[in-house]
Amino acid sequence: MDPFLLAAEFWWVAPSAVGAGAAGAAGLHWRGKAGGRRLAYDAARHDLRAAQQRANERRMAVRIARADLARITADRAAHRATPEQVASARRMLRERERDAKAALADVRARRVRLNAARAAIPAASAPRPLERLYAEHDAVTARWMQYETDPARLIAYPAMTDVRQPATAAYLRAVAHANELRRTAGARMTPAEFAAYRDAVAELERAFEIAEHAARVQAGDAPSAPGWQESAQEVLSRSAEALDRAAGAAASAFAAWSERNRGRTTSRTDGAAPHQAPAGDGADRGGRAPRSDGETRTSGPTWPVPRRDSL
Protein backbone atom coordinates (compact mmCIF):
# COMPACT_ATOMS: atom_id res chain seq x y z
CA MET A 1 0.00 0.00 0.00
CA ASP A 2 1.19 3.48 -0.82
CA PRO A 3 2.52 5.24 2.34
CA PHE A 4 1.24 8.60 1.11
CA LEU A 5 -2.28 7.23 0.82
CA LEU A 6 -1.94 5.68 4.31
CA ALA A 7 -0.85 9.01 5.82
CA ALA A 8 -3.72 10.81 4.11
CA GLU A 9 -6.17 8.26 5.43
CA PHE A 10 -5.03 8.41 9.13
CA TRP A 11 -3.90 12.04 9.41
CA TRP A 12 -6.20 12.63 12.38
CA VAL A 13 -4.36 10.15 14.65
CA ALA A 14 -1.46 12.47 15.53
CA PRO A 15 -3.56 15.48 16.70
CA SER A 16 -5.76 13.18 18.75
CA ALA A 17 -2.75 11.65 20.50
CA VAL A 18 -1.32 15.10 21.27
CA GLY A 19 -4.65 16.27 22.69
CA ALA A 20 -5.03 13.17 24.85
CA GLY A 21 -1.50 13.62 26.22
CA ALA A 22 -2.17 17.27 27.06
CA ALA A 23 -5.43 16.37 28.81
CA GLY A 24 -3.69 13.66 30.82
CA ALA A 25 -0.92 16.03 31.87
CA ALA A 26 -3.48 18.64 32.91
CA GLY A 27 -5.36 16.04 34.93
CA LEU A 28 -2.19 14.92 36.67
CA HIS A 29 -1.31 18.54 37.44
CA TRP A 30 -4.79 19.17 38.88
CA ARG A 31 -4.63 16.03 41.02
CA GLY A 32 -1.19 17.10 42.23
CA LYS A 33 -2.47 20.53 43.23
CA ALA A 34 -5.80 19.36 44.65
CA GLY A 35 -4.53 16.56 46.87
CA GLY A 36 -0.84 16.19 46.13
CA ARG A 37 2.41 16.89 47.83
CA ARG A 38 2.44 20.66 47.24
CA LEU A 39 -1.02 21.40 48.63
CA ALA A 40 0.25 22.72 51.97
CA TYR A 41 2.87 24.84 50.21
CA ASP A 42 0.28 26.32 47.85
CA ALA A 43 -2.00 27.06 50.82
CA ALA A 44 0.88 28.81 52.62
CA ARG A 45 1.51 30.96 49.54
CA HIS A 46 -2.17 31.82 49.42
CA ASP A 47 -2.05 32.84 53.09
CA LEU A 48 1.00 35.02 52.53
CA ARG A 49 -0.59 36.86 49.62
CA ALA A 50 -3.76 37.46 51.65
CA ALA A 51 -1.72 38.70 54.63
CA GLN A 52 0.27 41.06 52.42
CA GLN A 53 -2.95 42.45 50.98
CA ARG A 54 -4.36 43.04 54.47
CA ALA A 55 -1.12 44.72 55.52
CA ASN A 56 -1.28 47.08 52.54
CA GLU A 57 -4.89 47.94 53.28
CA ARG A 58 -4.17 48.69 56.93
CA ARG A 59 -1.12 50.74 56.01
CA MET A 60 -3.31 52.82 53.74
CA ALA A 61 -5.85 53.15 56.57
CA VAL A 62 -3.07 54.56 58.78
CA ARG A 63 -2.26 57.19 56.16
CA ILE A 64 -5.90 58.17 55.87
CA ALA A 65 -6.28 58.41 59.65
CA ARG A 66 -3.14 60.54 59.91
CA ALA A 67 -4.44 62.88 57.22
CA ASP A 68 -7.81 63.14 58.97
CA LEU A 69 -6.08 64.02 62.22
CA ALA A 70 -4.09 66.77 60.51
CA ARG A 71 -7.25 68.18 58.94
CA ILE A 72 -9.22 68.13 62.19
CA THR A 73 -6.30 69.70 64.06
CA ALA A 74 -6.22 72.51 61.52
CA ASP A 75 -9.97 72.96 61.86
CA ARG A 76 -9.54 73.11 65.63
CA ALA A 77 -6.97 75.89 65.24
CA ALA A 78 -9.52 77.74 63.11
CA HIS A 79 -12.26 77.11 65.72
CA ARG A 80 -14.22 74.86 63.36
CA ALA A 81 -13.73 71.61 65.35
CA THR A 82 -14.16 70.61 68.98
CA PRO A 83 -11.53 69.08 71.27
CA GLU A 84 -13.60 65.87 71.38
CA GLN A 85 -13.27 65.51 67.61
CA VAL A 86 -9.50 65.94 67.82
CA ALA A 87 -9.27 63.35 70.61
CA SER A 88 -11.44 60.93 68.61
CA ALA A 89 -9.22 61.33 65.55
CA ARG A 90 -6.15 60.59 67.65
CA ARG A 91 -7.74 57.47 69.09
CA MET A 92 -8.65 56.26 65.61
CA LEU A 93 -5.08 56.86 64.44
CA ARG A 94 -3.65 54.84 67.33
CA GLU A 95 -6.10 52.03 66.60
CA ARG A 96 -5.17 52.00 62.90
CA GLU A 97 -1.48 51.92 63.82
CA ARG A 98 -2.04 48.95 66.10
CA ASP A 99 -3.92 47.15 63.33
CA ALA A 100 -1.11 47.85 60.87
CA LYS A 101 1.50 46.56 63.31
CA ALA A 102 -0.53 43.37 63.86
CA ALA A 103 -0.89 42.90 60.09
CA LEU A 104 2.87 43.28 59.62
CA ALA A 105 3.50 40.67 62.31
CA ASP A 106 1.03 38.36 60.54
CA VAL A 107 2.98 38.78 57.29
CA ARG A 108 6.19 37.77 59.04
CA ALA A 109 4.50 34.72 60.55
CA ARG A 110 3.01 33.70 57.20
CA ARG A 111 6.42 34.02 55.56
CA VAL A 112 7.91 31.70 58.17
CA ARG A 113 5.06 29.24 57.59
CA LEU A 114 5.73 29.38 53.86
CA ASN A 115 9.40 28.49 54.37
CA ALA A 116 8.39 25.65 56.70
CA ALA A 117 5.85 24.33 54.18
CA ARG A 118 8.46 24.46 51.41
CA ALA A 119 10.89 22.46 53.53
CA ALA A 120 8.18 19.97 54.55
CA ILE A 121 7.04 18.96 51.06
CA PRO A 122 6.78 15.17 51.43
CA ALA A 123 8.40 12.60 49.23
CA ALA A 124 6.46 10.67 46.62
CA SER A 125 5.88 7.73 48.96
CA ALA A 126 5.07 9.81 52.08
CA PRO A 127 1.54 10.72 53.19
CA ARG A 128 0.04 13.78 51.54
CA PRO A 129 -0.62 16.99 53.51
CA LEU A 130 -4.37 16.44 53.30
CA GLU A 131 -4.02 12.94 54.70
CA ARG A 132 -1.93 14.24 57.60
CA LEU A 133 -4.53 16.93 58.29
CA TYR A 134 -7.30 14.34 58.30
CA ALA A 135 -5.24 12.29 60.79
CA GLU A 136 -4.84 15.32 63.10
CA HIS A 137 -8.58 15.98 62.98
CA ASP A 138 -9.38 12.33 63.74
CA ALA A 139 -6.88 12.31 66.62
CA VAL A 140 -8.65 15.19 68.36
CA THR A 141 -12.00 13.46 67.85
CA ALA A 142 -10.59 10.24 69.35
CA ARG A 143 -9.37 12.12 72.43
CA TRP A 144 -12.82 13.62 72.88
CA MET A 145 -14.53 10.25 72.51
CA GLN A 146 -12.49 8.92 75.42
CA TYR A 147 -14.39 11.28 77.70
CA GLU A 148 -17.68 10.28 76.07
CA THR A 149 -17.27 6.50 76.23
CA ASP A 150 -15.13 5.89 79.32
CA PRO A 151 -17.35 5.81 82.45
CA ALA A 152 -14.41 6.50 84.77
CA ARG A 153 -13.43 9.66 82.89
CA LEU A 154 -17.05 10.69 82.60
CA ILE A 155 -17.42 10.55 86.37
CA ALA A 156 -14.03 12.13 87.10
CA TYR A 157 -14.43 15.02 84.63
CA PRO A 158 -18.12 15.81 84.22
CA ALA A 159 -17.41 19.31 82.91
CA MET A 160 -15.89 17.83 79.76
CA THR A 161 -19.34 16.76 78.51
CA ASP A 162 -21.36 19.56 80.09
CA VAL A 163 -22.47 21.93 77.33
CA ARG A 164 -23.25 24.59 79.94
CA GLN A 165 -19.51 25.08 80.49
CA PRO A 166 -18.15 27.90 78.27
CA ALA A 167 -14.99 25.99 77.31
CA THR A 168 -16.95 22.89 76.36
CA ALA A 169 -19.44 24.91 74.33
CA ALA A 170 -16.57 26.63 72.49
CA TYR A 171 -15.04 23.24 71.69
CA LEU A 172 -18.32 21.93 70.28
CA ARG A 173 -18.64 24.99 68.06
CA ALA A 174 -15.09 24.38 66.79
CA VAL A 175 -16.03 20.74 66.09
CA ALA A 176 -19.04 21.78 64.02
CA HIS A 177 -16.99 24.30 62.04
CA ALA A 178 -14.17 21.85 61.25
CA ASN A 179 -16.58 19.09 60.26
CA GLU A 180 -18.48 21.45 57.96
CA LEU A 181 -15.31 22.51 56.15
CA ARG A 182 -14.20 18.89 55.79
CA ARG A 183 -17.56 17.82 54.41
CA THR A 184 -18.01 20.66 51.92
CA ALA A 185 -14.46 20.60 50.57
CA GLY A 186 -14.28 16.86 50.07
CA ALA A 187 -11.20 15.00 48.88
CA ARG A 188 -10.18 17.63 46.31
CA MET A 189 -9.40 20.88 48.09
CA THR A 190 -8.14 24.08 46.61
CA PRO A 191 -5.31 25.88 48.44
CA ALA A 192 -7.80 28.35 49.93
CA GLU A 193 -10.06 25.54 51.17
CA PHE A 194 -7.09 23.66 52.59
CA ALA A 195 -5.91 26.78 54.44
CA ALA A 196 -9.36 27.34 55.94
CA TYR A 197 -9.66 23.69 56.99
CA ARG A 198 -6.11 23.70 58.41
CA ASP A 199 -6.89 26.78 60.54
CA ALA A 200 -10.14 25.16 61.69
CA VAL A 201 -8.30 22.02 62.82
CA ALA A 202 -5.73 24.14 64.68
CA GLU A 203 -8.53 26.06 66.40
CA LEU A 204 -10.18 22.72 67.26
CA GLU A 205 -6.99 21.51 68.97
CA ARG A 206 -6.71 24.73 70.99
CA ALA A 207 -10.38 24.58 72.02
CA PHE A 208 -10.00 20.96 73.14
CA GLU A 209 -6.90 21.80 75.20
CA ILE A 210 -8.72 24.70 76.89
CA ALA A 211 -11.79 22.58 77.62
CA GLU A 212 -9.69 19.71 78.98
CA HIS A 213 -7.69 22.03 81.22
CA ALA A 214 -10.85 23.68 82.53
CA ALA A 215 -12.38 20.27 83.30
CA ARG A 216 -9.24 19.16 85.15
CA VAL A 217 -9.15 22.42 87.11
CA GLN A 218 -12.78 21.95 88.13
CA ALA A 219 -12.02 18.37 89.20
CA GLY A 220 -9.01 19.50 91.23
CA ASP A 221 -6.38 17.71 89.15
CA ALA A 222 -4.74 20.84 87.74
CA PRO A 223 -3.98 24.15 89.47
CA SER A 224 -5.53 27.25 88.03
CA ALA A 225 -2.80 29.80 87.33
CA PRO A 226 -3.93 33.35 88.17
CA GLY A 227 -3.83 35.90 85.40
CA TRP A 228 -1.28 38.09 87.15
CA GLN A 229 1.22 35.24 87.28
CA GLU A 230 0.97 34.66 83.54
CA SER A 231 1.32 38.39 82.91
CA ALA A 232 4.34 38.60 85.20
CA GLN A 233 5.94 35.64 83.45
CA GLU A 234 5.40 37.27 80.07
CA VAL A 235 6.87 40.55 81.31
CA LEU A 236 9.91 38.74 82.70
CA SER A 237 10.43 36.88 79.43
CA ARG A 238 10.26 40.08 77.41
CA SER A 239 12.60 41.84 79.83
CA ALA A 240 15.13 39.02 79.54
CA GLU A 241 14.99 39.19 75.76
CA ALA A 242 15.44 42.97 75.85
CA LEU A 243 18.44 42.64 78.20
CA ASP A 244 20.01 40.04 75.92
CA ARG A 245 19.62 42.31 72.90
CA ALA A 246 21.03 45.30 74.82
CA ALA A 247 24.00 43.27 76.06
CA GLY A 248 24.75 42.05 72.54
CA ALA A 249 24.58 45.58 71.15
CA ALA A 250 26.85 46.91 73.93
CA ALA A 251 29.39 44.15 73.33
CA SER A 252 29.43 44.86 69.59
CA ALA A 253 29.85 48.61 70.18
CA PHE A 254 32.67 48.05 72.68
CA ALA A 255 34.47 45.71 70.30
CA ALA A 256 34.20 48.24 67.47
CA TRP A 257 35.42 51.05 69.75
CA SER A 258 38.40 49.00 70.95
CA GLU A 259 39.35 48.08 67.40
CA ARG A 260 39.14 51.71 66.30
CA ASN A 261 41.28 52.95 69.22
CA ARG A 262 43.82 50.19 68.63
CA GLY A 263 44.18 51.35 65.04
CA ARG A 264 44.65 54.98 66.10
CA THR A 265 47.28 54.07 68.72
CA THR A 266 49.22 52.02 66.21
CA SER A 267 49.26 54.79 63.62
CA ARG A 268 50.30 57.39 66.23
CA THR A 269 53.15 55.21 67.49
CA ASP A 270 54.45 54.51 64.00
CA GLY A 271 54.38 58.14 62.79
CA ALA A 272 55.36 60.13 65.87
CA ALA A 273 58.98 61.24 66.53
CA PRO A 274 60.58 60.40 69.87
CA HIS A 275 60.31 63.15 72.45
CA GLN A 276 63.58 64.94 73.22
CA ALA A 277 64.24 67.30 76.05
CA PRO A 278 65.02 70.87 74.98
CA ALA A 279 68.64 71.81 75.01
CA GLY A 280 69.64 74.35 77.60
CA ASP A 281 70.87 74.46 81.13
CA GLY A 282 69.33 71.10 82.00
CA ALA A 283 66.11 72.40 83.57
CA ASP A 284 62.74 71.41 82.11
CA ARG A 285 59.73 73.64 81.56
CA GLY A 286 58.35 73.07 85.03
CA GLY A 287 61.42 74.52 86.70
CA ARG A 288 62.69 71.12 87.85
CA ALA A 289 66.46 70.81 87.67
CA PRO A 290 68.13 67.40 87.54
CA ARG A 291 70.24 66.34 90.49
CA SER A 292 73.36 64.32 90.47
CA ASP A 293 71.67 61.33 92.09
CA GLY A 294 69.15 61.05 89.30
CA GLU A 295 66.24 62.65 91.13
CA THR A 296 64.57 65.88 90.21
CA ARG A 297 64.16 68.87 92.50
CA THR A 298 61.96 71.86 92.03
CA SER A 299 63.72 75.22 91.85
CA GLY A 300 62.23 78.65 91.65
CA PRO A 301 63.12 81.39 89.15
CA THR A 302 66.69 82.80 89.24
CA TRP A 303 66.83 86.51 90.13
CA PRO A 304 69.73 88.74 89.06
CA VAL A 305 72.20 89.81 91.75
CA PRO A 306 71.83 93.54 92.41
CA ARG A 307 74.90 95.68 91.88
CA ARG A 308 76.15 98.42 94.16
CA ASP A 309 75.74 101.23 91.59
CA SER A 310 72.05 100.38 91.09
CA LEU A 311 71.21 101.24 94.70
Average confidence (pLDDT) over 109-123:
93
Contact by Cβ (8 Å): 207, 171: yes
Confidence of residue 252 (pLDDT cuts 50, 70, 90): confident
Helix (H, G, I), strand (E, B) or coil at 78: coil
* Mean pLDDT for the stretch of residues 25-46: 69
- Residue 81, helix vs strand vs coil: coil
pLDDT tens-digit series, residues 272-300:
555 554 544 444 444 555 555 555 555 55
- Report whether 90 contacts 69 (CB < 8 A): yes
So what's the pLDDT on residue 168?
Answer: 95
Q: Each residue of 109-124: b (16+ CB within 10 Å) or e?
A: ebeebbeebeeeeeee
Mean pLDDT value across the chain: 79
Residue 301 has pLDDT above 90, yes or no: no
Question: Model confidence over 199-250: pLDDT tens digits?
Answer: 999 999 999 999 999 999 998 876 765 554 555 566 566 666 667 677 667 7
pLDDT at position 302 is 62
Region 168-175 average pLDDT: 96
Phi, psi (deg, nearest 5) at residue 128: -75, 160
pTM above 0.75, yes or no: no
Direct distance between the N- and C-terminal alpha carbons of the chain, in angstroms, rounded to an integer: 156
pLDDT digit string (tens) for 122-171? 988 888 999 999 999 999 999 999 999 999 998 999 999 999 999 999 99
Number of helical (H) and strand (E) elements in the chain, helices listed first: 9, 2
Q: Whole-angstrom Cα distance, residue 234 to residue 257? A: 35
* Strands, E assignment, the chain: 288-290, 296-298
Neighbouring-strand partners of residue 290: 296
Between residues 3 and 46, which one has the greater pLDDT?
46
pLDDT, greater one: 23 or 100: 100
Closest alpha carbon to 65 in 96, 36, 86: 96
Domains of the chain, by residue range, sit at 33-119, 129-219
- Residue 237 CA to residue 255 CA, distance in Å, equals 27
Sign of CA dihedral 13, 16, 20, 21: positive
pLDDT single digits (tens) 3-29: 555 555 555 555 555 555 554 544 444
The predicted structure's pLDDT at residue 26:
46
Report the alpha-carbon distance of residue 195 to residue 203 in Å, rounded.
12
- Contact yes or no for 141/176 (Cβ under 8 A): no
More confident residue, 308 or 64: 64
The pLDDT score that the predictor gives to residue 215 is 93
List residues bridging with 298 in a β-sheet.
288
SS3 82: coil
Q: What is the tens place of the pLDDT at every residue in 74-84?
A: 999 999 999 99
Q: What are the pLDDT digits (tens) for 254-271?
A: 777 777 777 666 655 555
Give the C-alpha separation, 50 to 106, whole Å: 10
**C-alpha–C-alpha distance, residues 230 and 227, integer Å:** 5
